A and B are shown apart, each in its own frame.
Chain A
């Protein structure tokens, strides 16, 4: 599958790095991987790094919004970082930045979430 999910905990913050192409075909895989880890505990907040994401469409928006609802229902916060211009336009169009912050890189995202948590 042309999509890789890399995950790492930084205390209670789960960092998820996506690389490859996030579309309808790969969305279920990403969703399953992330939910498995989130349900296992340890995760209060979520940082989604899109640095190496080469392609994303509305299926990706669905995955992001779905994880946002999950984290929010548990009282946590979510942020995205390292977003390329095309993906930025998609996120902006869908109103995503009204509900979650965007950061330049993982470091900024982590300190941003640590401040609010």
Chain B
């Protein structure tokens, strides 16, 4: 692979209503976009899982399941690295440190396990949350894809 090729850039943006039926649409779409990097099955399922976590959080916590809410995902590929952002303009997070604790959930009555942030942190190389109470939350995550091709060469 030539150097220019290695640093090639591609991106996409996806916007949809905060409805639970769009969760699978979101993860399948992101996975399809990323498949150009020829990821392994494990990498693909990690990426699908983190998209599902972030989108579900926006719907349940950001918008309290109000379908008027809008979730925006961007995916960017630079070389062999994927950067994902998942954003909502919902209620935001008061205490980020607390929210990121494994097993912490503000909605135990909905049988949430409080593992979403921990999963995103574990499945991705980089993970960052920014949030403003009353105006929304944005999650930014990065992962380097060890393409299947690279494994064979």
Q: C-beta contact mask, A1-41 vs B, less than 8 Å → 1, else 0?
A: 01000000000000000000101110100010000000000
CB distance A58 to B113 under 8 Å?
yes
Assuming the A-B contacts A58-B113, A66-B111, A93-B115, are A23 and B24 also in contact, with contact meaning beta carbons closer than 8 angstroms in the complex? yes
For A31, give the chain B residue with the smallest CB separation.
B111
Q: Taking the nearest CB of chain B, how far is it from the CB of A3, in angstroms? A: 10
- Interface of B, secondary structure class, is helix
Q: C-beta contact mask, B102-127 vs A, less than 8 Å → 1, else 0?
A: 11000000111101101100100000
Alpha-carbon distance between A23 and B27 when the two chains are bound, in angstroms: 11
CB distance A25 to B111 under 8 Å?
no
Q: Taking the nearest CB of chain B, how far is it from the CB of A110, in angstroms? A: 26
Assuming the A-B contacts A57-B49, A58-B53, A86-B45, are A94 and B24 also in contact, with contact meaning beta carbons closer than 8 angstroms in the complex? no
CB distance A62 to B113 under 8 Å?
yes
CB distance B119 to A24 under 8 Å?
no
> What total of chain B residues lie within 8 Å of the partner, measured CB to CB?
26
For B119, give the chain A residue with the smallest CB separation.
A58
Apart from the given pairs A55-B52, A57-B53, 19 other A-B contacts in the complex at a CB distance below 8 Å: A23-B20, A23-B24, A25-B24, A31-B111, A55-B27, A57-B49, A57-B116, A59-B112, A65-B113, A66-B111, A85-B42, A86-B42, A89-B122, A90-B115, A93-B118, A93-B119, A94-B102, A94-B103, A94-B113
Closest 5 CB pairs of A and B: A25-B20, A61-B113, A62-B111, A57-B52, A66-B111
